[in-house]
Structure 1
Amino acid sequence: MNVASEGGGQPRSILLASDLDARSDRALDRAVQLAQAWGARLVVANVVEERAIEAHAIVVRDPPSWYRGTDPVHLAEKHLLEAASARGVQVKLRVERGDQVADRLLEVAREEGCDLVVTGVARQEWLGRMILGSTVDQLARRSPLPVLVVRNRAHAPYRRMVVASDWSPSSENAFRTATTLFPEAAISVLHGYDVPMAGLMDTGRDDMLAMARKDALAEGQAFVERCRPPGGASSVSLVVERGDPALLMRLYAEQFPVDLAVVASHGRSAVFDALLGSVARRLVEDSPVDTLIVRDPRAAARTG
């Protein structure tokens, strides 16, 4: 289901994809906050890989006499129950077995009628860059549902979002989905553009750059009008700059009080397949804030 295109309003059911690591606490906190705000069901899912079960059996093949054995699936259930009860919410737990983790998580989302997938990042490098991890990367590539990648602690509801846009229908869909999910959040639209050959020009360079910016602003204003934001076009801040969109997004989120970035999984240059577009991937990887990835419904329809 696509929240905006189905006209169903805010999600009635949320899937939290958890690996039970300490990093998952941030995603759990945000999922709980959203479930409470929307009155939605929360389904917490963990997939135990078969190779993890086999590895556990190898490690404990000669256990001490007092060891009575554990089942990794039951252990995962125990951790999930403890995490949920500690936050005072009622959730449905789904602990599954399988090696195709992302595929199994998406199957659970379909079975449970979920409208949004919430997940976390794998780790943070010393320079501050978040590493998505293979499962999160696959969810971003394959999920027909919006995927919210949580990086930061959930201190409050999202107050300000920045939507990365290349003026494409995919970006329009992402804009509408985000404003349906978070209608109270202030909105900025950010566009990064290039001016080919500008660096090679001796004369007329300034005029060319000025014209390119004027054209980009006009396209941006038309884009915002088409998106019909909840507060009207005048309520949206339009940020149009020459430069790489991923870098601009990171700098903007660092400079201003942004707590959510919104990215369309496909743009103007996309072949509508199951792959996360290259620009979208860099936007997601470089974003210093929580990031909502929205799949173009035409891509989902084509891949079935």
Structure 2
Amino acid sequence: MSPLKHILVATDLSPHARNAAERAAYLSNTQQAALDLLYVANPAPFERLKQLVAPDDDLLKRVLDSAGEKNRALAAMLFQRYAISAGVQVASGSVISEITRVVQDKHSNLLVCGAKGQSVARRLLLGSTVQKILNHMPCPLLVVKPAPRDAYRTVLVPVDFSPVSLRAIQLAKAIAPQAEIILLHAYEVPFEGSVRFAHIDQDTLTRYRNVIRKDAEAQLAALSEAAGLADARQVLVHGDPAWRIVEQEQELECDLIVVGKQGTSALEELLVGSVTKHVLDESQCDVLVSP
């Protein structure tokens, strides 16, 4: 991936969005990338409210004016704290359409947004705006969770040996060039349940697992070499990838996970609803999703 040139923050002006803006400003400062803050209001509920409550009042304009003031105040804070001059935009319309339009107009190569508090609230968010952004993926998406304190130090990159894996590694190197990058592969033994059902003895099952593991070790080493990370730490674990990724994030004290939107499944388009969505829901650190 080429160096960052433009970062777009999609904000709803919440405290979680402020975390996202601060992380984006930190990246903008360190990588000399331009930065814009975008607030989008869906006009439909305001038009309905206007009809019911205040027919002579332009509620949408008031909301956009207020959002513009708050966005400018946020930009001023970012300038004071990070010496970054952020552009400010407000728009009305479909949130996803407007975000996509600005990404294309600005040639953004990173979109940043905030995640809401605890798991239940995060699922509500991921079921709406973030989930829809993931389905379209105009560019890599960084979902920010805690308030940023420093540069990323330990980055976990789960890989499945598909072309998406190499892109995710390159993205991790571009976003966090000084961080330690850890490559993780979680493998499952094909047909293990069927083998157990057939009453295969434990020694045979163990040999079967070892064959799968050795093959995964060879592929992980080859991928590390191809990505220019031959000396990177490589972690190989057995089990469901969705759960193992989150476990390793906490065990290895990672502050960023870089995961591909899709894998090698025949149902690739559903992966956002499985492994990637699980990581977004349950991880404690920021998550960067690669197209």
TM-score bin (small chain):
0.7 to 0.9
* TM-score for both structures, normalised by structure 1: 0.84
Contact 1:121-1:133 within 8 A present in 2 as well: no
Among 7, 16, 31, the residue aligned to 1:23: 16
Q: Equivalent residue for 1:302?
A: none
Matches within 5 A, 1:125-204: 125=119, 131-199=125-193, 200=196, 201-203=200-202, 204=204
Matches within 5 A, 1:267-286: 267-269=263-265, 276=272, 278-286=274-282
Q: CA deviation at 1:212?
A: 1.7
**More helix by proportion, 1 or 2?**
2
CA–CA separation in structure 2 for the residues paired with 1:103 and 1:265: 20
Q: Equivalent residue for 1:209?
A: 209
CA–CA separation in structure 1 for the residues paired with 2:126 and 2:70: 23
Structure 1 pair 123–131 and aligned structure 2 pair: CA distance change class (3 A):
farther
Residue 72 of structure 1 pairs with residue 63 of structure 2:
yes
Among 251, 276, 282, the residue aligned to 1:255: 251
Structure 1 pair 68–213 and aligned structure 2 pair: CA distance change class (3 A):
closer
Report the secondary structure of 1:152's partner residue: coil
Report the secondary structure of 2:189's partner residue: coil
Segments of 5+ residues of structure 2 without an aligned counterpart are none
Q: CA deviation at 1:173?
A: 1.1
Q: CA deviation at 1:55?
A: 4.7
CA–CA separation in structure 1 for the residues paired with 2:74 and 2:239: 43
**CA-to-aligned-CA distance 1:209-253 (integer Å, 9 cap, x gap):** 222211111111111111123xxx11x111111111111111111
Among 13, 18, 23, the residue aligned to 2:6: 13
Paired residues, number? 280
- The AA in structure 2 aligned to 1:214 is K
- The AA in structure 2 aligned to 1:212 is I
**CA-to-aligned-CA distance 1:76-109 (integer Å, 9 cap, x gap):** 10111112212324211111110x2112101111
Q: Equivalent residue for 1:91?
A: 86
Segments of 5+ residues of structure 1 without an aligned counterpart are 296-304
Identity of aligned residues (%): 29
- The AA in structure 1 aligned to 2:187 is Y
Moved more, 120-129 or 12-21: 120-129
Structure 1 pair 73–277 and aligned structure 2 pair: CA distance change class (3 A):
same
CA–CA separation in structure 2 for the residues paired with 1:47 and 1:159: 33
CA–CA separation in structure 1 for the residues paired with 2:165 and 2:18: 30
Q: Equivalent residue for 1:38?
A: 31
CA–CA separation in structure 2 for the residues paired with 1:126 and 1:137: 14
Structure 1 pair 39–274 and aligned structure 2 pair: CA distance change class (3 A):
farther
Among 226, 233, 239, the residue aligned to 1:243: 239
Contact 1:46-1:95 within 8 A present in 2 as well: yes
* TM-score for both structures, normalised by structure 2: 0.87
CA–CA separation in structure 1 for the residues paired with 2:167 and 2:243: 23
Q: CA deviation at 1:160?
A: 0.9
Contact 2:116-2:122 within 8 A present in 1 as well: no
Contact 1:123-1:130 within 8 A present in 2 as well: no
Q: Report the aligned-residue RMSD.
A: 2.6
Q: CA deviation at 1:285?
A: 2.7
CA–CA separation in structure 2 for the residues paired with 1:62 and 1:117: 37
Q: CA deviation at 1:181?
A: 2.3
